[in-house]
C-alpha cells in the first residue's frame, strides 16, 4: 500500500512544503526514518533528527520554525502529535481490503439473513434466524449461534464465539477468541455441600462502536441482559460477569475483572489487573489504578488505588510509610525493650 503526501495532507487539511507526490508506505519514528516512511515532530528535543532524516515526509506543527534546510517533504498541521492517530487510521483503512461474499466452506443457516456486502469466511458458522448486517466481516472459524444479531460494519476476527440470542451493535470489533454470552458463574449451595447450577437465561448486548480484545469473556445474564455501552473499549483477557451494566465510553485494560451485577457509569478508566466485587455501583469518570480492588460503591470522579481501593493521594502517602514498616517495627521493638528495662529497674 502506497499513498502520496498530497493525499495525507488533504486528510489533515494540511499544507505541503516539498514534493506532494512522494510515495508513503509506512509510519516510523523520526530517529529511524527511511525512504517510504512518514514521521512526525512534536517534541522539540527530537528536532535535530529532522535535519538528517532520510524519511520521505515529516508532519510538523505550524509553529515550527526550521533552523536548517530540511530534505523530506513537510506536511504542516495544527497539532502534529494528535495527527498521528488519524494518520494511522487513514493508512490502516487504505491497507485493509474489505471483502465480501461467502466461502463455500462456511455454514450459514437458510433462515439467517446476511446483509449486502458482508463477508463470511471459511469454516464460519451462522446459526438459525441470525442477522448479519451490511458490510460486516466474519473471519474464518467464527461461531455465531441462533437468533444472534450482528450490526453493520462489524469485524469478528478468527475464533470469536457469540452464543445464542446475543446482540452486537454497528461498527463493533471483536478480536480473536473472545467469547460473548457464555453462562454466568451462578451456582446455588446445597445442604449436602454440592452446588446446583442456576440456569443463565439472559443475553449480552453490545452497543455501537464497542471493541472487545482477544480472549476476553462477557457472560450472559441470569435474567435480562449483560450490557456494554456504546464506545466502550475492552482489552485482552478481561472478564465481565453476568448482569453487569457498563455505560458508554469506558476503557478496561488487560486482566480486569468485573464481578456480577456491578454497575459502572460513563467515561471510566480501569487499569490492568483491577477489579470489583459484585453488586456495587461505580460512578461516572472514575479512574482506577492497576491492581486496584473496589469493594464498595464509588462516587463519580474518584481516583482510586490499592486493595481495598482508597483515594490515590492517600494511597501514595500510605505507601510511603508501608515501605518503611520493617524500620518502624525495629524501632518499636527497641522502644518496648527500653520500656521493659526501665520498668524492671524501677521495681
Residue 216 · residue 233 · CB < 8 Å: no
Given the residues 242, 279, 321, 324, the one annotated as active site? 242
In the annotation, is 242 catalytic?
Answer: yes
Q: Which of 290, 211, 295 is nearest to 246 (CA)?
A: 211
Which residues are known to be catalytic?
242
Amino acid at each position: 500500500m502506497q499513498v502520496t503526501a498530497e493525499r495525507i495532507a488533504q486528510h489533515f487539511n494540511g499544507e505541503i512544503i516539498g514534493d506532494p507526490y512522494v510515495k508513503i508506505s509506512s509510519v516510523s519514528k523520526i530517529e529511524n526514518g527511511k525512504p517510504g516512511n512518514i514521521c512526525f515532530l512534536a517534541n522539540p528535543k527530537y528536532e535535530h533528527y529532522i535535519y538528517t532524516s532520510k524519511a520521505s515526509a515529516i508532519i510538523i506543527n505550524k509553529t515550527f520554525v526550521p533552523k536548517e534546510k530540511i530534505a523530506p517533504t513537510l506536511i504542516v498541521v495544527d497539532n502534529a502529535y494528535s495527527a498521528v492517530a488519524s494518520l494511522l487510521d487513514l493508512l490502516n483503512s487504505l491497507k485493509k481490503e474489505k471483502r465480501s461474499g461467502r466461502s463455500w466452506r462456511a455454514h450459514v443457516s437458510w433462515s439467517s439473513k446476511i446483509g449486502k456486502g458482508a463477508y463470511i469466511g471459511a469454516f464460519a458458522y451462522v446459526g438459525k434466524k441470525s442477522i448479519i448486517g451490511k458490510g460486516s466481516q466474519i473471519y474464518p472459524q467464527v461461531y455465531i449461534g441462533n437468533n444472534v444479531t450482528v450490526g453493520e460494519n462489524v469485524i469478528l476476527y478468527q475464533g470469536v464465539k457469540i452464543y445464542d440470542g446475543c446482540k452486537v451493535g454497528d461498527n463493533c470489533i471483536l478480536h480473536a477468541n473472545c467469547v460473548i454470552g457464555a453462562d454466568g458463574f451462578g451456582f446455588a449451595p446445597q445442604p449436602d455441600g454440592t452446588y446446583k447450577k442456576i440456569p443463565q437465561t439472559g443475553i449480552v448486548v453490545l452497543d455501537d462502536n464497542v471493541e472487545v480484545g482477544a480472549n476476553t469473556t462477557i457472560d450472559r445474564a441470569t435474567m435480562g441482559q449483560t450490557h456494554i455501552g456504546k464506545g466502550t473499549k475492552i482489552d485482552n483477557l478481561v472478564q465481565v460477569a453476568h448482569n453487569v451494566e457498563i455505560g458508554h465510553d469506558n476503557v478496561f485494560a488487560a486482566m480486569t475483572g468485573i464481578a456480577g451485577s456491578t454497575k459502572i457509569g460513563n467515561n471510566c478508566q480501569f487499569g490492568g489487573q483491577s477489579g470489583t466485587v459484585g453488586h456495587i455501583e461505580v460512578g461516572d469518570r472514575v479512574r482506577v489504578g492497576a491492581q486496584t480492588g473496589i469493594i464498595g460503591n464509588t462516587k463519580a470522579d474518584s481516583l482510586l488505588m490499592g486493595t481495598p481501593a482508597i483515594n490515590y493521594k492517600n494511597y501514595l502517602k500510605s505507601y510511603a510509610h508501608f515501605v518503611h514498616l520493617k524500620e518502624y517495627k525495629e524501632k518499636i521493638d527497641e522502644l518496648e525493650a527500653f520500656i521493659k528495662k526501665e520498668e524492671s529497674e524501677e521495681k
